[in-house]
């Protein structure tokens, strides 16, 4: 209620509440922007500390003359003093220019733009499935805690969570991609598209979907455990609460008590966690993308690290760190919407 | 981009839409050869792209002046059908083949070649990938359509190995900024056996056979490079028939494919040699000592003793699973003419190594570790590529053997670019290094000359910091020697001197391991004919020679079946979800108050 009465121009209200919507929004967004700026600064200096002369790395043992090296340095602006490079970098960043990749000789922003879609598709699909699975199993496990289901689901989830992703990916690839014994190899073992798919939209969509199955499955297997565990523990905390007794006393059926009363309250910390992790998961896709040659941001980062391609690393670093910050802000805002107590504070 | 986004957005929804006509059958009589590529194509621009995958692609779509024969790597006419040199060896006149056309119909002329080299000489961006080929050029001219005249600053025996793609002038003269040009307008105008028609970065490149190729069209109709970041996955794709050729296999992967039905293995000699650098006292081009090499290694007797203590046969057996040859001379045996074997090799002999170190005055201290005459213990750092598992194994073996001769070794696995940096700076005692040799030996031989040492400003491409007058003399003579037999002799002389000085120990030459679907293709031309490879060649022979079998030209139904199975699964899941939702609705209706 309080937030509805606060108008943008209502100085008295803003001054009094301090926690009204616009103020809260401004604080969170401002904090986010400061973080993004710090990430940009860090991104610049972090990759200057990496050992290695970029020009040497680029020419990798080719017999180039000193003049050629010098020209290359000039072209990349590496002959400028560090502060000048930093100012140029910040100026370009404001214009949305992330520089030019050494390896691909193309704008970094363009490369990241190309790879963003596939990663969002993979991470998005995997997160949706992992959240659904984790919440459902976590709820069941908590409601009947100590049961065989609780023990089995928790230990399976924790086992998958601790297994190396690369190894799990290869096992999934062998079993469902190639086939073992009676299981036929149903899904492609790598890439995002089959080049020979006819240029009909529905065929292309199905083709991408088929390629998506194994990497998404691998990711789900690895990440659903955390949702299960958080949901389980926060529901367990709610279970002794008085309002549940009240609800039962009203004569509500057990699963309605769970669904209508306990779960919504237990969801609160879980939702925050989901958004906090969404930012991290993009970076976490590196291994899965590498196993399945999925042309996303993770793979791009992996390649850039191997060279190392400084502008590209800088760009992916900003985008990955930026997505964590954005998701943090979203989680903060969402928490306020979901939890009246934060609003009142 | 828009379309791709749309596809991405529709994927989830698309899963729920049944559709009968999904995979279109391949056209009858068409044969597509699919090759799994482990490395990225960094650029389609032949002036910029330098990754192996990119250069492989350029060989298929752009002409070069000369090429390497598939039999034995000898220089063979390609776009130039003949050539002659002036008496002073400074002027080369190439006669350009008549009747060769670009894929847009224009004739390929001497002017295209002159334009390409000239641009590389004038435009630093155009010199990015292949600038070294024109470094010694004084001028390039095309007096007429079929004559190309190149003048060099000094005599150069490598003029028949100008491995730079030639581009069509009428396309490229309109490009002001080479560095910013992606060259991705399909089809890319070339004149090689294949035409690049489709490209998705990080995913695949599709090439159609060039029906008007001057040597005659290839026997396959389409060639496709499919990216596989993970060679384990590419092996599985080969097994499954999703790709037809897999390359750069590890010994374990190669062994796992043995006896597999419909898969043929190719064990080719590799172009790469692996060496252990033994820092002989690094210095820059001005002769000033640099780096932090151990002083004992400046003594050639210590370097030779270390080489005696390395069991190369064991390394080939244990590290390479036997897929390689024991190292000796500097150039790998795949280049038969230039390869040299030491007549009196330093056999693995720990007792002999101990004797030599004793004789040289490096006595053991109370801890069993030898000391220099000045009393400094022989504690050596061995720098390894942390990314290469082979390096780790080599390191462990060498550490053990050297411990037996009283030398303590500390292993230092570091990142690849740190290996580059620290070897360039002379900041190592022992280090694993290796180079891919070209059919022309000049490139790798030059790495050991005094001239390749780093300048005080940091240029140069040093390898083992040899810098030996006798070696340099043989090197300089071979570069100016135009009689093939005499040049071979000089190249071998240089290798003998390198071996004598032991500033590096060539450990082994690794085999190149490949496999292909023999049920679908045959006839890949190997290079060289004896023990050669079918991918990653110096030329286009492997794919150009590939012949489809009857099975490869008929359509495959497997994809349709898979898709139908997937669809069935999706329908089941959708049905289950629908049922659950319906039950949920009913339940809440009952409970409504």
For A107, nearest residue in chain B (alpha carbons): B180
A150: left (phi over 0), alpha (psi -120 to 50) or beta: alpha
Q: Could you tell me if A295 lies within 8 Å of chain B, comparing CB atoms?
A: yes
d(CA B79, CA B58): 15
**Which of A68, A204, A302 lies closest to B131 in CB terms?**
A68
Q: Are B76 and B69 in contact (CB under 8 A)?
A: yes
pLDDT in tens, B136-188: 899 999 999 999 999 999 888 888 888 899 999 999 999 998 888 889 889 99
pLDDT value at position A65?
65
**pLDDT tens sequence across B446-484:** 889 998 888 776 666 778 999 999 999 999 999 888 888
B23–A170 C-beta distance less than 8 A: no
For the stretch A54-71, pLDDT in tens is 676 666 555 566 676 777
Confidence of residue B200 (pLDDT cuts 50, 70, 90): confident
Please report the pLDDT score of residue B420 as a whole number. 79
For residue B57, the SS3 value is helix
Which has the higher per-residue pLDDT, A7 or A253? A253
- Residues in contact with A182: Cβ distance below 8 Å, sequence separation at least 6, in sequence order: none
Name the pLDDT band for B558 (thresholds 50, 70, 90): very low
Name the pLDDT band for A320 (thresholds 50, 70, 90): confident
> For residue A75, how many other CB atoms are within 10 A of its CB?
15
| pLDDT tens digits, one per residue of B490-512 | 999 999 999 999 999 999 999 99
Mean pLDDT of chain B: 86
Determine contact: B417 vs chain A, CB below 8 A.
Answer: yes
pLDDT for A201 equals 80
Report the DSSP pairing between strands B272-278 and B430-436: antiparallel
- Which of B43, B230, B587 is closest, CB to CB, to A105? B43
Do the beta carbons of residue B79 and residue B63 sit within 8 Å?
A: yes
DSSP per-residue letters across B440-493: STHHHHHTTSGGGSPPTTS-S--SS----HHHHHHHHHHHT--SHHHHHHHHHH
Q: How confident is the model at residue B421 (pLDDT cuts 50, 70, 90)?
A: confident
Is residue A286 scored above 90 in pLDDT?
no
What is residue B458's predicted lDDT score, i.e. its pLDDT? Answer: 63
Distance of alpha carbon A294 from alpha carbon B574, whole angstroms: 26
Which SS3 state, helix, strand or coil, does residue B395 take?
helix
Inter-chain residue contact B233 with A189, CB threshold 8 Å: yes
* 3-state SS, residue B223: strand
Any CB–CB contact under 8 A between B589 and chain A? no
Is residue B586 pLDDT above 70, yes or no? Answer: no
Taking the Cβ of residue A54 and every Cβ of chain B, the question of whether any pair is shorter than 8 Å is answered with no
Q: What is the mean pLDDT of residues B385-392?
A: 87
Exposed, middle or buried by CB within 10 Å (0-12, 13-18, 19+), for B373? exposed
| pLDDT (0 to 100) of residue B518 | 93
Higher pLDDT, B141 or A300: B141
- Give the integer Cα–Cα distance in Å for B450 and B573: 70
B26 close contact with A: CB closer than 8 A:
yes
* Cβ distance of A191 and B227 shorter than 8 Å: yes
Is residue A200's pLDDT more than 60?
A: yes
> Is the CB of residue B556 less than 8 Å away from at least one CB of chain A?
no
Tell me, yes or no, if B224 comes closer than 8 A to chain A by beta carbon.
Answer: yes
Q: Please, are residues A130 and A223 in contact by the beta-carbon 8 Å criterion? A: yes
Three-state SS string across chain A, please? CHHHHCCCCCHHHHHHHCCCHHHHHHHHHHHHHHHHHHHHHHHHHHHHHCCCCHHHHHHCCCCCCHHHHHHHHHHHCCCCCHHHHHHHHHHHHHCCCCCECCCCCCEHHHHHHHHHHHHHHHHHHHHHHHHHHHHHHHHHHHHCCCCHHHHHHHHHHHHHHHCCHHHHHHHHHHHHHHEECCEECCCCCCCCCCCCCCCCHHHHHHHHHHHHHHHHHHHHHHHHHHHHHHHHHHHHHHCCCHHHHHHHHCCCCHHHHHHHHHHHHHHHHHHHHHHHHHHHHHHHHHHHHHHCCCCCHHHHHHHHHHCCCHHHHHHHHHHHHHHHHHHHHHHHHHHHHHCHHHHHC
Kindly give, in sequence order, each residue whose CB lies less than 8 Å from that of residue A327, ignoring residues fewer than 6 positions away.
Answer: A275, A276, A278, A279
- Judged by CB atoms closer than 8 Å, whether chains meet at B11 and A121 is answered as yes
Cβ count within 10 A of residue A111: 25
Query: What are A283's two structure tokens?
Result: 């970076």
pLDDT tens-place string over residues A202-252? 888 888 888 999 999 999 998 888 889 888 888 888 877 788 788 777 877
Average pLDDT over residues A277-288: 75
Give the whole-angstrom CA distance, residue B92 versus residue B74.
18
Subunit contact A117:B4, Cβ cutoff 8 A:
yes
Percent of the residues in chain A that have a pLDDT greater than 70, as a whole number: 86
- Mean pLDDT of the region B190-206: 92
**A279-283, B146-150, B206-210, B367-371: which range is least confident on average?**
A279-283
Residue A238 pLDDT: 81
Interchain proximity A195–B224, CB inside 8 Å: yes
pLDDT at B468: 93
Put simply, the answer to whether A187 touches B562 (Cβ < 8 Å) is yes
- Closest partner CB to A293 (pick from B8, B32, B230): B230
Of A196, A204, A295, the CB nearest to B7: A204
Cβ within 8 Å, pair B228-A194: no
Does the pLDDT at position B540 exceed 90?
Answer: yes
pLDDT band, residue B566 (cuts 50/70/90): low
Orientation of helix A201-238 relative to helix A108-143, angle to 10°: 40
Question: What is the per-residue DSSP string for B3-51?
Answer: HHHHHHHHHHHHHT---S--SPPPPTT--EEEEEE-S----S-TTT--S
Specify the residue for token string 């930012």.
A279
| B250 HSE (CA, 13 A, CB side) | 11
The pLDDT of residue A278 is 77
Q: Do A291 and B198 touch (CB under 8 A)?
A: no
pLDDT at B475: 92
pLDDT (tens digit per residue) in A28-46:
888 888 888 888 888 888 7
pTM of the model: 0.80
Peptide bond into A103 cis (omega under 30): no
pLDDT score of A82 = 81
Looking at residue B418, what is its pLDDT?
80
Asked whether the beta carbons of B97 and B80 are under 8 A apart, the reply is yes
Q: A161: phi > 0 → left, psi -120 to 50 → alpha, else beta; which?
A: alpha
Q: Considering only residues 123 to 162 of chain B, which have any Cβ-Cβ distance to chain A shorter than 8 Å?
A: 124-125, 127-128, 131-132, 135
Residues 67-86 of A with CB under 8 A from B: 68-69, 71-72, 75
Binding-face residues of B in 455-474 toward A, CB within 8 A: 455, 457-461
Tell me the nearest-neighbour CA distance from B30 into chain A, angstroms.
12
- Between B42 and B85, name the one with better pLDDT: B85
Of A316, A287, A330, give the one whose Cα is nearest residue A122.
A287
* Cβ–Cβ below 8 Å for A293 and B45: no
Supply the pLDDT for residue B68: 92
């Amino acid at each position: 209620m309080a937030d509805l009465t606060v108008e943008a121009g209502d100085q008295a209200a803003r001054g009094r509440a301090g926690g009204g919507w616009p103020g809260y929004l401004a604080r969170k967004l401002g904090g986010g922007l400061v973080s993004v700026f710090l990430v940009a600064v860090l991104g610049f200096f972090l990759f200057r500390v990496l050992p290695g002369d970029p020009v040497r790395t680029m020419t990798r043992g080719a017999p180039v003359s000193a003049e050629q090296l010098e020209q290359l340095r000039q072209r990349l602006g590496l002959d400028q003093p560090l502060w000048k490079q930093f100012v140029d970098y910040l100026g370009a960043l404001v214009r949305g220019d992330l520089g030019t990749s050494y390896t691909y000789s193309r704008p970094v922003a363009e490369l990241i733009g190309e790879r963003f879609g596939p990663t969002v598709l993979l991470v998005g699909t995997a997160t949706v499935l992992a959240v659904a699975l984790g919440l459902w199993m976590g709820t069941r496990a908590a409601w009947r805690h100590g049961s065989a289901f609780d023990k089995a689901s928790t230990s399976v989830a924790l086992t998958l969570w601790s297994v190396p992703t690369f190894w799990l990916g290869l096992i999934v690839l062998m079993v469902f991609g190639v086939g073992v014994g009676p299981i036929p190899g149903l899904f492609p073992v790598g890439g995002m598209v089959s080049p020979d798919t006819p240029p009909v939209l529905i065929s292309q969509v199905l083709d991408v979907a088929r390629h998506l199955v194994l990497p998404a499955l691998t990711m789900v297997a690895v990440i659903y455990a955390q949702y299960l565990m958080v949901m389980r523990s926060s529901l367990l905390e709610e279970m002794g609460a008085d309002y549940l007794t009240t609800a039962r006393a009203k004569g509500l059926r057990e699963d309605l008590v769970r669904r209508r009363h306990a779960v919504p309250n237990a969801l609160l910390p879980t939702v925050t966690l989901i958004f906090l992790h969404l930012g991290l998961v993009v970076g976490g896709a590196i291994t899965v993308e590498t196993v399945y040659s999925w042309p996303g941001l993770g793979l791009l980062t992996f390649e850039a690290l191997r060279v190392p391609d400084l502008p590209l690393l800088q760009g992916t670093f900003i985008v990955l760190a930026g997505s964590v910050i954005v998701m943090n802000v979203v989680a903060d805002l969402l928490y306020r919407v979901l939890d009246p107590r934060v609003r009142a504070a | 981009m828009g379309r791709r986004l749309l596809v991405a957005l529709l994927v989830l929804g698309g899963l729920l839409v049944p559709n009968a006509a999904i995979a279109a059958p391949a056209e009858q009589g068409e044969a597509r050869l699919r090759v799994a590529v482990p490395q990225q194509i960094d650029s389609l621009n032949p002036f910029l792209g330098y990754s192996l995958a990119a250069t492989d692609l350029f060989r298929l779509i752009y002409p070069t002046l000369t090429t390497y024969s598939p039999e034995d790597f000898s220089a063979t006419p390609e776009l130039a059908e003949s050539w002659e040199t002036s008496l002073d060896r400074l002027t080369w006149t190439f006669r350009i083949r008549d009747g060769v056309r670009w894929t847009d119909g224009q004739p390929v002329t001497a002017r295209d070649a002159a334009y390409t080299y000239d641009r590389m000489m004038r435009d630093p961006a155009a010199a990015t990938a292949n600038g070294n080929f024109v470094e010694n050029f004084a001028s390039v001219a095309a007096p007429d359509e079929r004559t190309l005249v190149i003048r060099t600053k000094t005599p150069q025996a490598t003029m028949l190995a100008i491995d730079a793609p030639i581009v069509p002038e009428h396309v490229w003269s309109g490009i002001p900024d080479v560095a910013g040009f992606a060259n991705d307008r399909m089809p890319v105008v070339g004149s090689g056996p294949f035409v690049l028609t489709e490209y998705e970065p990080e995913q695949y490149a599709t090439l159609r056979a060039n029906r008007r190729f001057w040597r005659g069209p290839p026997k396959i109709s389409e060639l496709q490079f499919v990216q596989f970041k993970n060679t384990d996955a590419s092996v599985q794709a080969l097994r499954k028939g999703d790709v037809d050729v897999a390359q750069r296999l590890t010994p374990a992967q190669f062994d796992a494919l043995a006896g597999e039905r419909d898969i043929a293995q190719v064990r080719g000699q590799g172009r790469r040699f692996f060496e252990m650098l033994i820092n002989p006292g690094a210095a820059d081009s001005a002769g000033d000592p640099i780096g932090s090499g151990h002083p004992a290694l400046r003594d050639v007797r210590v370097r030779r003793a270390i080489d005696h203590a390395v069991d190369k046969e064991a390394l080939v057996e244990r590290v390479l699973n036997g897929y390689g040859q024991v190292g000796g001379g500097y150039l790998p045996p795949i280049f038969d003419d230039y390869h040299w074997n030491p007549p009196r090799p330093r056999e693995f002999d720990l007792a002999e190594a101990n004797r030599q170190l004793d004789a040289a005055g490096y006595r053991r201290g109370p801890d069993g570790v030898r000391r220099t005459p000045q009393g400094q213990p022989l504690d050596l750092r061995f720098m390894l590529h942390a990314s290469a598992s082979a390096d780790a194994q080599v390191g462990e073996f060498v550490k053990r053997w050297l411990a037996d001769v009283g030398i303590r070794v500390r292993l230092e696995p570091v990142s690849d670019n740190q290996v580059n940096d620290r070897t360039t700076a002379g900041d190592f005692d022992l280090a694993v290094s290796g180079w891919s040799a070209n059919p022309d030996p000049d490139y790798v031989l030059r790495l050991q000359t005094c001239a390749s040492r780093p300048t005080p400003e940091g240029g140069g491409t040093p390898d083992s910091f040899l810098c030996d007058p006798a070696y340099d003399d043989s090197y300089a003579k071979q570069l100016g020697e135009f009689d093939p037999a005499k040049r071979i002799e000089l190249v071998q002389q240089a290798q003998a001197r390198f071996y004598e000085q032991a500033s590096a120990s060539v450990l082994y030459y690794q085999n190149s391991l490949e496999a292909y679907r023999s049920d679908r293709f045959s006839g890949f031309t190997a290079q060289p004919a004896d023990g050669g490879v079918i991918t990653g060649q110096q030329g286009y022979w492997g794919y150009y020679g590939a012949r489809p079998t009857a099975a490869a030209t008929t359509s495959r139904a497997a994809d349709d079946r898979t898709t139908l199975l997937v669809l069935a699964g999706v329908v089941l899941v959708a049905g289950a979800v629908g049922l659950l939702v319906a039950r949920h609705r009913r339940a809440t209706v009952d409970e409504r108050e």
